[in-house]
Amino acid sequence: MVGTELLLGEIIDTNSAYLSEKLAEMGVDLYYVTKVGDNQNRIADLVRQACQRADLVITSGGLGPTSDDLTKEAVAQAFELELVLCRKALKAIEERFHSMHATMSDNNRRQAYLPAGARALPNPKGTAPGVLLELPEDKAVIMLPGVPIELKAIMDGSVIPYLKERTANGGGGIIGSRVLRFYGLGESTLESVISDLIAAQTNPTIAPYAGSGEVRVRITAKAKDELEAAQLIDIVEEELLARLDEYFYGYGDEGMEVVVARLLSAKKQTLATAESCTGGLISHMLTNVPGSSAFYMQGVVTYSNTAKARVLGVAPKLIEDHGAVSEEVARAMAVGVREWAGTDIGVSVTGIAGPGGGTETKPVGLVYFGLSSAQGVVVERRQFAGDRLQVKERTALAVLDLVRRHLLQRV
């Protein structure tokens, strides 16, 4: 990872976590992750060292148009190559500026210069192309932009297909991978349920890892082709779901909000939200899903007790008797928002996100959330650990899971 700002802590390195996850999904062993500042000699030394101990080196950052963007220069230096103009890359950069109705400055031409023998990887989200440099002894250096959205776009569009092809052409067949997502149990609990499968694994392999409030299990198989890999993975998946089906909710990169959105659309159900401690996070997650206007009608953040009463019709006496963070208020909020919006489903959440506001009987992290539908009202109580943001995120995930279980008639 290239960038002095990373060493100074000015920017949090999310790219290495993303790359680690993607490489693991493909069964590519990752041995080292290193950060280096914007110094050409140090970058060059690090790239040379990395190529001595690995077949594939991926860099992130330092591909921009300014004088401190030195990754391509450093890679060229490391292997005694010249930087040469790539006409195809230059044309793509010019077209990018034209599409944005912006004037291209001269320094943007720097982004079209690549180490001799390298090829540009299209960047659909920015001006800096990625770079693939194949080296003797079947080694390769892949240079990606540091902007996460651009890095991910090039990974999906160019790097992952290249790595899959590289693996297949190596004579060892292909590596297939599938990620299963589970909610409602911790990583240690899940691992104990499938410990015998993990202990006996050969091919495919099984790797559980915790996410934010959920657990994922990656199944990776080595096979002669994609069909054989899928068949091997199917066998393991079937055994996992035989033990963990009640907790399973989806695959791959699809988060809970995507799964819930798909169910709402398929069942032609509409939804409205009433949020307090989550501050609109549930609405944010749902409306991040394309096509959400088909099922998500409206939402309200009733943070104060006055708003709960005025907007949702929660009786002030109910709040006075039981407190805003209570089963009774969560129930009234869910009913109120469903009536207010005229939807099939109304969900509510009220809680104490912290760090202050907790008491002995109602500690920080306590939340109540409800779901109102034609079948009645369900309210659940949870106690979440973590800081303010973690409590909000875990609460939002739990509310969406409640909607999912309702739609699957598991509540």
Mean pLDDT of 252-256: 93
- The β-bridge relationship of strands 130-135 and 139-144 is antiparallel
User: Do 156 and 187 fall into the same domain?
Assistant: no
Report CA-CA distances (Å) from 153 to 17, 101, 146, 156, 199.
15, 22, 12, 5, 36
Q: Comparing C-alpha atoms, which of 198, 295, 297, 293 is closest to residue 239?
A: 198
Residue 161 · residue 155 · CB < 8 Å: no
**Domain check: are 166 and 200 in the same one?**
no
- Of 111, 138, 172, at which residue does a domain stop? 172
Which of 172, 190, 207 marks a domain boundary? Answer: 172
Residue 233 has pLDDT above 90, yes or no: yes
Specify whether 336 is located in the same domain as 376: yes
Average pLDDT over residues 48-66: 96
The answer to whether 324 touches 350, Cβ cutoff 8 Å, is yes
Residue 44 pLDDT class (50, 70, 90 cuts): very high
Same domain, 189 and 117: no
* Domain boundaries, position 33: 4-172
**Across all residues in the chain, what is the average pLDDT?**
94
- For residues 46 and 161, state if they share a domain: yes
pLDDT tier at 263 (50, 70, 90 boundaries)? very high
Residues 291 and 245 in one domain: no
Is residue 352 packed enough to be buried (19+ CB in 10 Å), middle (13-18) or exposed (0-12)?
Answer: buried
Percent of the chain with pLDDT over 90: 88
Residues 245 and 308 reside in one and the same domain: no
Residue 137 has pLDDT above 60, yes or no: yes
Alpha-helical runs (H) found in 10-84: 15-25, 40-53, 71-78
Residue 237 confidence (pLDDT): 98
Q: How confident is the model at residue 171 (pLDDT cuts 50, 70, 90)?
A: low
Q: Are residues 387 and 341 in the same domain?
A: yes
Are 114 and 167 within one domain? yes
State the Cα–Cα distance between residues 336 and 250, nearest whole angstrom: 31
H/E segment holding residue 388: helix 388-407
Q: How many domains does the chain have?
A: 3
Single pTM value for the model = 0.77
User: Which residues is 206 bridged to in the sheet?
Assistant: 219
* Token reading at 194: 């499938």
Q: What is the pLDDT of residues 359-375, one digit of tens each?
A: 999 999 999 999 999 99
What is the DSSP secondary structure assignment for residue 30, as one 8-state letter? P
pLDDT tens track for 140-163: 999 999 999 999 999 999 999 999
